[in-house]
Structure 1
Amino acid sequence: MFKMKGQAKKLSVVSSFILVAASILIVISLFFPWWKMVFVAPQYPEGLNIIVYPNKLAGEIDIVNGLNHYIGMANFSEKNFPELSYLPYLVGGLAALTLLTALLRKKSVLYGLIGLFVIGGGLGVFDLMHALKKFGTNLDPHAPIKMDPFVPPILGHNTVANFQTDSLLGLGTYLVIAAFILLLIPLWKDRK
């Protein structure tokens, strides 16, 4: 039979529950690390970590800062990353918008939400790239150990002096990626 104009663009109840699950994953991601760097050297075979949560830094920050002092790198601290003061609110807002989308069940709102995810993810990657470039290329020329500027990778392996460094995504990022995948399922499921 004929469908009314508004009904054709509505998401199913199952899709709405999928969006609720995505919202829950986004909230849970706030309690887990989103990114980390692991530094291994002969004098630190167990490795040193910088662990980035949406609202704080963790790991052996003081030891890493002490070592970075020798090459003239700025200290890693929460005051050097103002994003940590407002990122939890942005992520919480995204979770709330995802829940609102589940309640409204409109495809047009879902498209907008997916757009926000893509823009937010892109800005997050750009921000992290910018921070890594700033820390690796603005080395103090009066530092005890002279070395060429460098940019640590967002993901992957790097060698700085005698340190082997691995940059990895944390569980929180995987939860957000899973939430994003859940957002795409209703577009396929309710495509008619």
Structure 2
Amino acid sequence: MNDQKKGKLSLGSALLIGLSAILIVISMFFPWWRMLFYAPQYPEGLNIIVYPNKLAGEIDIINGLNHYIGMSNFSEKNFPELSYLIYIVGGLAVLTLITAVLRKKSILYGLISLFVIGGLAGVLDLYAALKKYGTNLDPHAPIHMDPFVPPIIGANKVANFTTHSLLGTGVYIVIIAFILLLIPLWKDRKR
């Protein structure tokens, strides 16, 4: 009864929050977003794969092709977020673990707010980057194209390329971690 008055979460809820912290750490080792490029000359597809701290895939080939439409090169130096995002995610995992140990509903509400704000900031940042790449085309490029904004999720057609933007495994793991944070609010609603 004393724990209920103090807004303390149950031990089961604390374990769920602890599992959430572990999932956040695991997510750092998986891609968070990717873009697949298909064209007749590349039927197997080309990839840009975004991890929280690096880019992977056939970046050099894609940059060579993007040169023809006047798009800037994709590189880690053009995405400063990749130099610090891993620390933000690691810090979020630590805060989640602290929340599990303290077992306070008020702290859990704050943590959930951080998740929501961080998620929205990430989506807006990705959109801004895609807009910058698709609308700041060199007017002197060999092939003239109208500016465009690739979608965060979904398909897009540019010249003879069809691109598919997808969330990566890491984001799905973070979504599961977020859901694990919501369960204690329902589970311990009368505590």
TM-score (norm 2): 0.98
1:45-104: CA deviation from partner (whole Å, max 9, x where unpaired): 000000000000000000000000000000000000000000000000000000000000
**Distance 1:5-1:176 versus aligned 2 partners, 3 A rule:** closer
After superposition, the C-alpha distances for 1:112-135 in whole angstroms (9 at most, x for unaligned) are 000000000000000000000000
Taking the aligned partners of 1:88 and 1:5, their CA distance within structure 2 comes to: 35
Q: Counterpart of 1:68 in structure 2: which amino acid?
A: N
| Structure 1 partner of 2:161 | 163
Equivalent AA in structure 1 for residue 56 of structure 2: A
Using the TM superposition, give the Cα deviation of residue 136 of structure 1 relative to its aligned residue in structure 2, in angstroms: 0.1
State the match for 2:50 in structure 1: 52
Cα RMSD for the two superposed structures: 0.9
Structure 2: which 5+ residue stretches go unaligned?
Answer: none
**1:163, distance to aligned residue in structure 2 (A):** 0.3
Q: Name the SS of the counterpart of 1:159 in structure 2.
A: strand
Partner of 2:133: 135
What residue is the counterpart of 2:89 in the other structure?
A: 91
1:38 to 24, 36, 39: 36
Q: Which amino acid aligns with 1:135?
A: Y
**SS in structure 1 at match of 2:100:** helix
* Residue type at the aligned position of 1:157: A
Distance 1:70 1:154 in 2: 23
- After superposition, residues 112-191 of structure 1 pair within 5 angstroms as 112-191=110-189
Q: State the 1:8 CA deviation.
A: 4.6
Q: What is the TM-score with the length of structure 1 in the denominator?
A: 0.97
What secondary structure does 1:150 align onto?
A: coil
Cα distance in 1 for partners of 2:176, 2:132 equals 30
Secondary structure of 2:8's aligned partner: coil
**How far apart are the structure 2 equivalents of 1:62 and 1:69?**
11
Give the secondary-structure state (helix, strand or coil) at the position aligned to 1:40: strand
What 5-or-longer segments of structure 1 have no aligned partner? none
Residue from 100, 105, 108 that aligns with 1:107: 105
Over 3 Å off, 4+ runs: 3-8
Amino acid in the other structure paired with 1:149? P
